[in-house]
């Protein structure tokens, strides 16, 4: 894997030096374009409500929505997630609910990472209570080896092993979300 290029990091500090790139912005863009084309095809001309899971999916939703050719609207939810680091807090709860009802609509949940599956299992259950016409899941990354709940995404960008990643919206203790590439976070990386 190539080292994180200098233009992916802050121009004023060396804080991110040593981070390795797992997927470059070009690789991400190509894959997101493919996913958008597939989603467009599956929609068959119907309308779509894209529900982004804050905050990690912000960039993915922004890019994926522009790769989907459909009459689409956005909504956002937020759940409790990883605490202050790489360890999961375990319990999932809704911190921010939908703004608009989704009954009878085609819903696409847009998530950054499907990891243990706790978040998306919970979200799917909560959203299905509103009786959408359809409910699909798009995740940029999937870590199938980490699954605790039985859940799969309908659209997966990249399937990865048990690595902790940052960038392109994904954080470590709220930092690094603005890295344009997806980089590896090693446990011994200095904070
Ligand atoms: P879950 O374990 O499937 O419930 O995933 C919950 C959330 O944990 C994901 O939506 C991510 O926001 C976060 N997460 C899981 N793995 C990583 C990672 O490698 N880097 C950053 N965030 C992660
Ligand atoms: Mg997330």
φ/ψ of residue 15, rounded to 5: -50, -40
Residue 112 a catalytic site member: no
Question: What's residue 191's pLDDT?
Answer: 56
Looking at the CA of 55, name the nearest ligand: 2
Mean per-residue pLDDT of the chain: 88
The separation between CA 40 and the C-alpha centre of its own chain, rounded to angstroms, equals 19
pLDDT at 36 over 70: yes
Residue of minimum CA distance from atom 5 in ligand 1: 115
Q: Are the CB atoms for 137 and 111 separated by under 8 Å?
A: yes
Does the global pTM surpass 0.75? Answer: yes
Kindly give the distance from the C-alpha atom of residue 46 to the centroid of ligand 1, in angstroms, as a whole number: 30
Q: 50 vs 38, 99, 120, CA distance in Å?
A: 15, 12, 14
* Span 69-78, average pLDDT: 98
Among 75, 115, 142, 171, the one annotated catalytic: 115
């Amino acid at each position: 894997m190539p080292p994180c290029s200098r233009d992916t990091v802050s121009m004023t500090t060396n804080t991110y030096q040593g981070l390795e790139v797992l997927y470059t912005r070009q690789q991400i863009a190509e894959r997101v374009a493919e996913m958008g084309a597939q989603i467009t095809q599956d929609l068959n001309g119907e309308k779509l409500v894209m529900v982004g899971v804050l905050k990690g999916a912000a960039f993915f939703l922004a890019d994926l929505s522009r790769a989907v050719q459909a009459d689409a609207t956005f909504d956002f939810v937020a759940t409790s997630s990883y605490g202050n680091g790489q360890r999961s807090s375990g319990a999932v709860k809704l911190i921010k609910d939908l703004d608009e009802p989704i009954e009878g609509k085609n819903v696409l949940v847009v998530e950054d990472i499907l990891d243990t599956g706790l978040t998306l299992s919970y979200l799917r259950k909560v959203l299905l209570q509103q009786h959408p016409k359809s409910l699909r899941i798009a995740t940029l990354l999937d870590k199938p080896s980490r699954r605790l709940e039985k859940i799969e995404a309908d659209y997966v960008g990249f399937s990865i092993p048990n690595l902790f990643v940052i960038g392109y919206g994904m954080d470590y203790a709220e930092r690094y979300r603005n890295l344009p590439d997806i980089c590896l976070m090693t446990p011994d990386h200095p904070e």
